[in-house]
Amino acid sequence: MTPIEDKNLDQIEYLLQLSSQGHHFLFEKQDIVKALKKSVDDEKDFFDFDNKNRIQNLLLRVIEKDSFSEKQCFLETLQPEDYELVIRAYFHLVDNTILQKSNLKH
């Protein structure tokens, strides 16, 4: 696996920050609603070993794209199931970004 360039990580961090403010540029609104509407009975199942590797691979492939438009083009090539996995995983990252920046901790 090739190392991820800092500029690509910076771009994803920027997109996560925007998403934490409600601006979701990587995905269409209707796709977000459809993916997040589906119930995942057990989050452990979503992040089981096989799924976790699949999600990690997909997210890395998104991150490795140099431009925002390349990221979107790649996402458009995904099978619907993989696309929904990326959306769900991305929003887990958004949630974690929000929690990290929050002063309120349990």
Give the residue numbers spanning the domain of 49: 6-101
For each of the chain's 106 residues, which pLDDT tens digit applies?
566 778 878 888 888 888 888 888 899 999 999 988 877 665 666 777 778 889 999 999 999 998 989 999 999 999 999 999 999 999 988 998 888 877 665 5
Q: Looking at the domain assignment, is residue 106 inside a domain?
A: no
Q: Looking at the domain assignment, is residue 86 inside a domain?
A: yes
- Whole-model pTM? 0.82
- Domain total of the chain: 1
Q: Which residues have C-beta within 8 Å of that of residue 64, sequence separation ≥ 6? A: 2, 4, 8
Burial string for 43-72 (b: 16+ CB within 10 Å, else e) reads: eeeeeeeeeeebbeebbeebebbeeeeebe
- Distance, CA of 47 to CA of 89 (rounded, Å): 9
Going by C-alpha positions, the residue among 9, 27, 16 that lies closest to residue 66 is 9
Q: Looking at the domain assignment, is residue 19 inside a domain?
A: yes
Q: Looking at the domain assignment, is residue 61 inside a domain?
A: yes
- Distance, CA of 85 to CA of 76 (rounded, Å): 13
Q: Looking at the domain assignment, is residue 22 inside a domain?
A: yes
Q: Which residue's structure tokens are 């090539």?
A: 77
